[in-house]
Amino acid sequence: MAEVQSATDGKPRFSRILLKLSGEALAPAQGSGLDLDALAEIALEIKEVASLGVQLAMVIGAGNYIRGSDYEARGMDRSHRRPDGHARDGDQRPRAANALEHVGVVTRVLSAIEMQALCEPYIRRRAVRHLEKGRVIIFAAGTGNPYFTTDTAASLRAMEIGAEVILKASHTVDGVYDRDPVREPGAKRFDRLTYIEVLQKNLKVMDSTAISMCMDNRLPIIVFNLRKRVI
């Protein structure tokens, strides 16, 4: 996550960031579930960023298990996904915290719904206090509501904790394109976009609700490839 560092003096560009990590980035090469090796690698990168004195919070998707759009494609009521999604949250986020703790990073998992045996309830002032104490926060259970994606949860939490930027980690691309560059090699990469351009072009970098929230609050978004290290 070299985007955090300045290109000139190596000092952090941001003091408080929200990392949005897709569930697919944690999935095995084949199938669904959790790739513990990938999780361990990500934990080491997060440790490196935290060692710079950057206050870091995370929102992790659950697409490595199931996506709400998959429910809808099968004609199911998407609102029924909520208990299953929260169950996955209760399993995946503490595992991510454990991987971070294993490499020496002090973490806290804060959930939008009550899961006392696994994590703390989300309270904004408590979250900010954890950051001030140098702890890495993992936000679980999204916003606690159906239909709102983890992209929207990331935008909401970023604004609540006063993050200076959202770092959107992709496991396949190194930025925003007009088409899927994996399927279409001729896709155009954008160096810089306004929020309105993202919405007008219907670019799938984040869902429209998340983009609109960031636009209203002037919260920048940086998209980068999690698998590509920038020197």
Mean pLDDT in the chain? Answer: 85
What's residue 202's pLDDT?
94
User: So what's the pLDDT on residue 147?
Assistant: 84
Structure token digits, residue 56? 């870091």
Rounded to whole angstroms, the Cα distance separating 61 from 150 reads: 6
Give the pTM.
Answer: 0.86
Please give, one letter per residue, the 3-state secondary structure of the chain. CHHHECCCCCCECCCEEEEEECHHHHCCCCCCCCCHHHHHHHHHHHHHHHCCCCEEEEEECCCCCCCHHHHHHCCCCHHHHHHHHHHHHHHHHHHHHHHHHHCCCCEEEEECCCCCCCCEECCHHHHHHHHHCCCEEEEECCCCCCCCCHHHHHHHHHHHHCCCEEEEEECCCCCEECCCCCCCCCCCEECCCCHHHHHHCCCCCCCHHHHHHHHHCCCCEEEEECCCCCC
pLDDT digits (tens, 9 = 90+) for 151-180: 999 999 999 999 999 999 988 888 999 998
pLDDT class of 78 with cuts at 50, 70, 90? low
Give residue-wise pLDDT tens across range 6-25. 545 668 999 999 999 988 87
CB 220 within 8 A of CB 166: yes
Angle at the Cα of 110 from the Cα atoms of 18 and 54, rounded to 5 degrees? 35
Report how far apart the first and last C-alpha atoms of the chain are (Å, whole number). 10
> 104 or 30: which carries more pLDDT confidence?
104
Q: What phi and psi values does residue 19 have, to the nearest 5 degrees?
A: -95, 120
